[in-house]
Amino acid sequence: MKLITYKFILFIRLLLREFKAQKLRMSLTVAAIAWGTISVTLLMAFTVGLQQQMRKASSGLGGRIMILWGGQTSKVFQGLPPGRRIHLHPEDVDLLKKRIPEIEQISEEYLRWGVTLDYNGKQINKLVSGVAPSFKDMRSHYAQMGGRFINKIDYEEKKRVIFLGTRVCEELFGNDDPVGKRILVNSIPFTVIGVMVDKLQNSNYHGPDENYTIIPATTFVAIFGDPWLDNIVFSMKEGVDSDLVEQELFRVMGGKYRFDPTDSPALWTWDLVKNKEIERKIFLGIVIFMWFIGGMTLLIAGVGVANIMYVAVRERTREIGTKIALGAQRKHIIWQFLTEALSIAFVGGLIGISFSILICSLFRALPMEGALELLSEPTVNVPVAFITVGTLAVIGLFSGIFPARKAASVDPVEALRYE
């Protein structure tokens, strides 16, 4: 044990001696490794953070959902001409739920723009949507603490309750708690039951969720009297192929409204499952590209390590020859230069990762809103750190092995005569 400790201390002293003898060259090499590490780590940290934020933004619209709108036929079918408008009706919700078992939850949706909301004389015009209670989980409409979304009783009893988007709440109430207060919706009194949580949202189909309000669909029909649905939203069970669900959707609706199931303009659909798969592939390409750029940066730093080790071999030729003449074995010479190369890579990598963590922490502390919020969570996670350290170890190994082999093959007689 004492021998091992002595050898370790001796090695550290030799390493420090080399750093002292070649301050500038060693410092530049460590800086190159550190810069390469920072480049790789920050590239991956921002990529990981952006991917996480994009997932949150995607889930802001919903999970495994599909949105359905009525369209217009483009084919002759059973003697009926093309160009017929297909309107969605309330009974279509029960029909689809019954005929397509792959559907997990479903909700109708009515929309009315320009509805006047009034609170103590303060008036704004907003979109009002009428939906079923199942809409909450499908579209991630969760309430802030102290409030709630519409429930089954609200829906069945046509209660005059309203759920507010965050922007609507700010415009009407400012910093006051709106839950339990009365507002007028086109001069009709409604009770505020909840306010939507703040959430990221990178896509929508009738504007940002924060900027509209929700009431029970039954209440909506009782007040506005709309005969048709604006759209239907439904979620699919896990593992279900959304393409097959869409085909079944056209078959069922085509049977009711008498249009060709292959007539795609007859219905319009938005499949979020497909969207998320496309996003996944895009981010996979981005990650591969970022690793390639980072790897090339580290490779350049590795060339610097190799260069300094070759210079060290040339400048220490007499020392190496003396060691061999005194009985040092080839493996001892190789091990010395390898550990020096690995140490340079380790020190540079440690500095680089430390700086990267600091930069990410400072970046997360900055206030960011809007699109910049997608870049607000750079994350140096464990896989990125381990992969970076592993890459540095490999670079250090390959940067030192060839100079080490050259040093070990020095002829002691020629080395002692070397000037």
pLDDT 10s digits, 60-77? 788 789 999 999 999 999
Higher pLDDT, 311 or 11: 311
Q: What pLDDT score was predicted for residue 253? A: 96
Q: What is the mean pLDDT of residues 249-257?
A: 95
Q: What pLDDT score was predicted for residue 204? A: 85
Spatial separation of the C-alpha atoms in residues 178 and 191, rounded to whole Å: 9
> 146: left (phi > 0), else alpha (psi -120 to 50), else beta?
left
Q: What pTM does this model have?
A: 0.73
The strand pair at 65-70 and 267-271 is best described as: antiparallel
Tokens of 277: 């798969």
Spatial separation of the C-alpha atoms in residues 83 and 89, rounded to whole Å: 19
Spatial separation of the C-alpha atoms in residues 70 and 231, rounded to whole Å: 7
pLDDT 10s digits, 96-146? 999 999 999 999 999 999 999 999 999 999 999 999 999 999 998 999 988
Spatial separation of the C-alpha atoms in residues 48 and 54, rounded to whole Å: 10
The mean of the pLDDT values for the chain is: 82
Binned at pLDDT 50, 70 and 90, residue 27 comes out as confident
pLDDT 10s digits, 153-177? 999 999 999 999 999 999 999 989 9
Query: Quick one: 17 exposed, middle or buried, by C-beta within 10 A (0-12, 13-18, 19+)?
Result: exposed
Taking CA atoms, 306 is separated from 173, 201, 391, in Å, by: 66, 48, 15
Q: Choose from 50-59, 231-240, 328-337 the range with maximum mean pLDDT.
A: 231-240
Single-letter amino acid code for the residue at 395: I
For residue 213, pLDDT over 70 is answered with yes
Q: What pLDDT score was predicted for residue 11? A: 60
Task: Identify any residues that bridge with 271 across adjacent strands, giving them in sequence order.
Answer: 66
> Mapping DSSP to helix (H, G, I), strand (E, B) and coil, where does residue 158 land?
coil
Q: What pLDDT score was predicted for residue 123? A: 94
pLDDT 10s digits, 225-241? 999 999 999 999 988 89
Tokens of 364: 């997360």
pLDDT 10s digits, 351-401? 888 888 888 888 777 776 655 666 667 777 777 777 776 776 676 667 667
Is residue 142 within 8 A of residue 149, CB to CB? The reply is yes
| Domain coordinates in residue numbering, the chain | 12-59+277-416, 103-239
Q: What pLDDT score was predicted for residue 89? A: 96
Binned at pLDDT 50, 70 and 90, residue 17 comes out as low
Higher pLDDT, 95 or 293: 95
Specify the DSSP class assigned to residue 370.
G
